[in-house]
Structure 1
Amino acid sequence: MAKNQQFTIGWICPLPLEKEAARLILDEEYPQEAVKHQSAFYLGGRIGKHEVVIGVQRRTGLDGAAILTEKMRAGFPNIKYFLLVGIAGGVPRYGTVGAASEIMLGDVIVSSLRGNHGGVVQYDRGRWKGEGRLNFRGHTNGVPGDLMAAVNNFRAEGWSKTNISEMLKQMRVKLDEKRQRQYDDPGPIRDRLFEDSYEHKGNEFDDCKDCCDADYTTSRSQRGESAY
């Protein structure tokens, strides 16, 4: 089988930082020059028994993701599933403060079918109503059957069996000491959120620590389980 035909999973990264994290999770990484299409290089490797090819978008947004997916499908014809994996900056708050269901920094969010709705809601295709409720007008297609079955297996067995904490430790070992610190858990003291009513004071890409008032931050609550 030609090299480009061996890949069955396409991994879409909106940002270069996310591609670096994807690289660290690979059990085996293939030489870059062996994974290319139309002069563009991709990151290829193996996770368990799965042959995975990873690409990073040239620009963020739906159009960028669609363009990259189209190019990867043309270059790697045996891709069965595409997964978009990112830092989930748009995931809303969920769960009561301190509860195990509260979404916190370091948690892994997996989209899945719920009722008649797909696993992902496009935030600009709805209208916010009272009490933070989104009245949306569209959503993604449902999760493919095989992937939905895998999600349900994790639910049945308990997500703790995925051993995320151990995986993160193994990822850090692959980095030099300086870069390891970039991926360290900041700890509850530094893990702070700005209040909902506080508006960012800088430009879109300015770091909050350089332009915003830390007096308007609150510490995250502690809980019994953490996904770090």
Structure 2
Amino acid sequence: MPPAKRIPARGRFHASSSLSRPSSPVADYTIGWICALPIELAAAQEMLDEVHQPLPQDASDPNSYTLGRVGERNTVIMVLGRTGTNSAASAVARMKSTFTSVKLGVMVGIGGGVPSSKVDIRLGDVVVCEPSKDCGGVIQYDLGKTRPGGVERTGFLNAPPEALQSALASLKADHLKGRVGFLDHLAKLSNQPLFARDKAGPDVLYNPVYNHEEGEENCNNCKEEHSVRRQTRGEHVMVHYGTIASGNQVMRDAKERDKVSKGLGGVLCFEMEAAGVMNSFSCLPVRGICDYSDSHKNKSWQPFAAGTAAAYAKELLLSKRIKPLPQIAWT
């Protein structure tokens, strides 16, 4: 059946500029894709293989949704509108109430990387939450009790669902054998000027003790002699698996970044939503690195980083190893 004529989105359900088909019943949407920022939403929408027309507005749910299909899975994309763990928790609760068949999902967007001698994280790389023996994969670093020896973190966050962890293991094996599907999705996205890598600018890591030179948002005034010498990698995007630190404040101090990371046993990135969601929604956080969580933070790498995270998430959701396979509802 040819795609239906596109109609403008109304209310809180939005469709992209692609041709769309009539929406499926609410019960047919089984995957939730959560993002926080408009640039993350734009990248997510481009990953849809099919865009569905909006559903009628529900006055009890102010969330903003995009409906569509990724591979064989009907997917609802939700944009939070605001950053922070509390905002994320409230929005996800409303999504689960509206889309009761959504039991599995991904939380996809940007994050601030934590470079170290052990992990060569670069701008544009992808960080994927992975549990360890001591942690479920996400730590809320700004929640705890103050003790004489420091802050004692309280509470534990759930690990990503086993269905996605199993798919991740297979995906990692595919990548080791050179079958890296997300690069194809990223290449198509990068053809658009907004998400092109060459629009992001240079990837420069500065020494932790050197703060950003005031005057401009970018680092045109920052001195090159304070940059860290690193081995040339080119434009190769790498995927890193490990612990993500989540909190309600933006991390933009390199010394504090390293201090907190060390106290947590080593984290790969900082972000602001996952801690509010992990105990209420079975999802996997995926982050594209857009800065180094230091005073040199700016927005120039956000579009490309949002794109790399979205491309990886699409490869994951296309995996046949995610069971059970949701029913599809088109003819």
Q: What TM bracket, shorter-length normalisation? A: 0.7 to 0.9
Aligned residue in 2 for 1:103:
121
Take 1:9 and 1:214, find their aligned partners in 2: how far apart are those partners? 46
CA distance in 1 between counterparts of 2:234 and 2:219 reads 29
1:112-136: CA deviation from partner (whole Å, max 9, x where unpaired): 1111311112232479xxxxxx986
SS in 1 for 2:165: helix
Distance of 2:203 and 2:170 partners within structure 1: 32
Preserved CA contact (<8 Å) 2:190 2:197:
no
* Residue of structure 2 in register with 1:213 after alignment: 222
CA distance in 1, matches of 2:229, 2:195: 20
Question: Which residue identity is paired with 1:34?
Answer: L
1:52 to 75, 85, 88: 75
Going from structure 1 to structure 2, the CA distance change for 1:219 and 1:94 (only over 3 Å counts) comes to closer
Aligned to 2:232: 222
Deviation at residue 190 of structure 1 after TM alignment: 1.7
The verdict on how the C-alpha distance between 1:84 and 1:202 changes in structure 2, with shifts beyond 3 A counting, is: farther
CA distance in 2, matches of 1:149, 1:195: 38
Please provide the CA RMSD for this pair.
3.2
Q: TM-score, normalised by structure 1?
A: 0.76
Is contact 2:174-2:180 (8 Å) kept? Answer: no
- Following superposition, the deviation at residue 48 of structure 1 comes to 0.9
CA contact (8 A) 2:64 2:80 kept: no
Confirm or deny that 1:86 pairs with 2:109.
Answer: yes
| Higher deviation after alignment, 143-152 or 192-201 | 192-201
User: In the alignment, does 2:6 pair up with 1:6?
Assistant: no
Looking at structure 1, the residues matched to 235 and 39 of structure 2 have their Cα atoms a distance apart, in angstroms, of 26
Q: Judge conservation of contact 2:63–2:79 (CA < 8 Å) in 1.
A: no
Letter of the 1:207 partner, please give it. E
1:37–1:105 distance in 2 versus 1, CA, 3 Å: farther
Give the secondary-structure state (helix, strand or coil) at the position aligned to 1:161. Answer: coil
The CA distance in 2 between the partners of 1:225 and 1:41, in whole Å, is 34
C-alpha offsets along residues 133-172 of structure 1, whole Å, 9 cap, x if unaligned?
x986555211211111101111233354232221112224
SS in 2 for 1:86: strand
Whether 2:146 is the aligned partner of 1:124: answer no
Report the CA distance between 1:34 and its aligned residue: 2.7
Q: What stretches of structure 1 of length at least 5 have no aligned partner?
A: 128-133, 174-179
Identity of aligned residues (%): 30
The residue type equivalent to 2:29 in the other structure is: F
Take 2:126 and 2:169, find their aligned partners in 1: how far apart are those partners?
15
Gap regions ≥5 residues in structure 2: 1-22, 146-150, 238-307, 309-331
Mapping of 1:1-228 within 5 angstroms? 3-31=25-53, 33-34=54-55, 36-38=57-59, 40-89=63-112, 91-96=113-118, 101-125=119-143, 139-158=156-175, 160-173=178-191, 180-186=192-198, 190-200=202-212, 207-209=217-219, 213-215=222-224, 216-218=226-228, 221-223=231-233, 226-227=236-237
CA contact (8 A) 2:34 2:77 kept: yes
Corresponding letter in the other structure for 2:55: A
The alpha-carbon deviation at position 24 of structure 1 amounts to: 0.9
Cα 1:151–1:50, aligned 2, differ >3 Å: closer, same or farther? same
Aligned residues of 2:213 and 2:219 also touching (Cα < 8 A): no
Q: Whose helix fraction is larger, Structure 1's or Structure 2's?
A: 1
Q: Which amino acid aligns with 1:221?
A: Q
| Separation in 1, partners of 2:137, 2:57 | 31
Taking a change above 3 Å as real, the CA distance of residues 217 and 135 of structure 1, as seen in their structure-2 partners, is farther
Structure showing greater relative contact order (alpha-carbon pairs closer than 8 Å, 6 or more residues apart): 2
Report the number of matched residues: 207
**How many Å separate the matches in 2 of 1:143 and 1:120?**
9
Q: Specify which structure has the higher proportion of strand.
A: 2
| Gap change, CA 1:85 and 1:40, over 3 Å in 2 | closer
Letter in structure 1 aligned against 2:26 = N
State the Cα distance separating 1:199 from its structure 2 match. 2.4
**Alpha-carbon distance change, 193 to 171 in structure 1, aligned in 2, over 3 angstroms:** same
1:213 maps to amino acid: C
3-state SS, counterpart of residue 88 of structure 1: strand
